[in-house]
Amino acid sequence: MEPQTLVQIPLPPPAAFTAPAHCADGHTHALADCRHEHSHVLDSKTHGGGYAHAATRAIFCSRCRLQRWLDVEAALAMAQADVGMIPRPAALEIQRRAVLPAMDLERIAEGVTRTGHSLMPLLHALQDACSPEAREFIHYGATTQDIQDTAQSLELRDVLDTLDEALDGLLARLATLADRHRHSVMVARTHSIPALPTTFGLKVAGWIDELLRHRDRLRQARQRVLVVQLFGGVGTMAAFGPKAMPLLEAFARRLGLDVPLAGWHVARDRVAEFVSTLAMMTATLARAADEIRTLNRWEIGEVEVGWSEHQIGSSTMPHKRNPEGCEQVVVMARLAKAQVALALDAMILEHERDYRGTRLEWCAVADVSHYALMATSLLTDTVAGLTVNAAAMERNARAFSDSICMEAFVFEMAGKLGKSSAYEIIFELTQACQRDRVPIREAVEADPRVLAAVGEGRLARLFEPQAHLGMAATIVDGVLGEVGHRR
């Protein structure tokens, strides 16, 4: 197996790094002397909590990743024993010794730096832990990417399991919100301008409906994404001999993964699907969060995000209660979107092996998982602490009733005049009112064409936003039925 050589990039001389740096220990020193960790915001002890969830930190922990590689090596040995390819005592010993805490992690890290190979130093540590007989059967016939891709599939499974539970929790909270406000009338806005009456319950049902499709996508992706990789150096499985296909089945069975039809060392659509689907879901979370942020504005005041006595909105404006949780969900979505480009770039590879894609995936898969689960957690917390001001919603709807009920006038008049003629009359009236700053209701109630088509007895009712909610409640019921919500 050829080691993957790392390109050595020359660093500037230490003299170039002479700017003073202040670390947590209070000392001032040159950057060249700094040995403090957590240089990425994801790993920051002070700010990382807004970017990565504890669950994904555990999944993608560097020690956990190495242990997962060892787990795959152990599963390979046991599967090879299952099909009679290697002695079972050797496989059992490999399984027993494939435990990271018993190994020298610093020596492994030094070995990766020295050899430029991501796996061999770990294999050497496992070989050193085994007897001379067993060590000969470690990593028998596999290539590095077989182990690492299979381990990544296990990581993806852990992420999907965690996200599935988190998404169900969010959907349950949203379903309760939609049910509670199925009749809470409010202004529907298109292009940010008041449009027609709607209900807050229907708005939330729209978020739920979109998230349900993402849940379906994530569940359907499992059969395509969660597969083993065990096809040898160039995908022929030649090193495994005639027992190659039974071995593949046994290997997958031991790990609880599916069997692909062919090797996917350079066919990275599975990983791109995972990254893209998580990014899409996170974008939906951001749409909902941003809507809450907008409705939380004081000049709208239809919802209010939760706040605790310990929170601070501004260092200079003491009255501020900023919807930073909502904003952070949008940040997560934008960061998740950036990972999709990396995942798509990782699909364009050469021949039978190309590590440029794998190394991109190591970043993209972990990062999109952090961002998606963090966004889910943030939005769940936001919804849990949300106060819905139904009175303000209705008040705003009544304040704009002149405008948002105009569609109802068009279709009321259409019975006598036809839809196009009725629309032209109302269009003329409403545009003139906006130009001349005249109340629409005043102009409509004084127009003889409207009175002739509507009649005075219907005018007041047509200006009631509550009367024009259409099938909103029925649509909410349909969505809640898909969630499994029961009133």
Residues classed as catalytic:
191, 314
CA distance 347 to 369: 19
> How many Cα atoms occupy the beta-carbon half-sphere of 157 within 13 Å?
16
Residues 6+ apart with CB under 8 A from 446: none
Helix (H, G, I), strand (E, B), or coil: what is residue 258? strand
Residues 6+ apart with CB under 8 A from 360: 342, 343, 345, 346
- What is the Rg, in whole angstroms, of the alpha carbon atoms belonging to the chain? 30
* Contact indicator for 228, 153 with CB cutoff of 8 Å: yes
Task: List the alpha helices (DSSP H) in 310-389.
Answer: 324-345, 355-384
Specify the amino acid at residue 331: V
Helix (H, G, I), strand (E, B), or coil: what is residue 199? strand
β-pair type (185-190, 28-30): unpaired
Nearest to 169 by CA among 55, 330, 304: 55
Residues 6+ apart with CB under 8 A from 26: none
Nearest to 20 by CA among 11, 28, 12, 9: 28
CA distance 25 to 354: 43
Specify the amino acid at residue 446: A
* Contact indicator for 92, 71 with CB cutoff of 8 Å: no
* Contact indicator for 268, 357 with CB cutoff of 8 Å: yes
Which residue in this structure is represented by tokens 């090193």?
A: 239
Report the 10 Å Cβ neighbour count for 415: 11
CA distance 444 to 402: 9
Q: Quick one: DSSP state of residue 193?
A: E
Cα separation values, 152 from 51, 77, 135, 227, Å: 21, 18, 24, 10
CA distance 186 to 400: 10
Q: What is the DSSP string of 117-160?
A: -SSHHHHHHHHHHS-HHHHTTTT-S--HHHHHHHHHHHHHHHHH
CA distance 364 to 360: 6
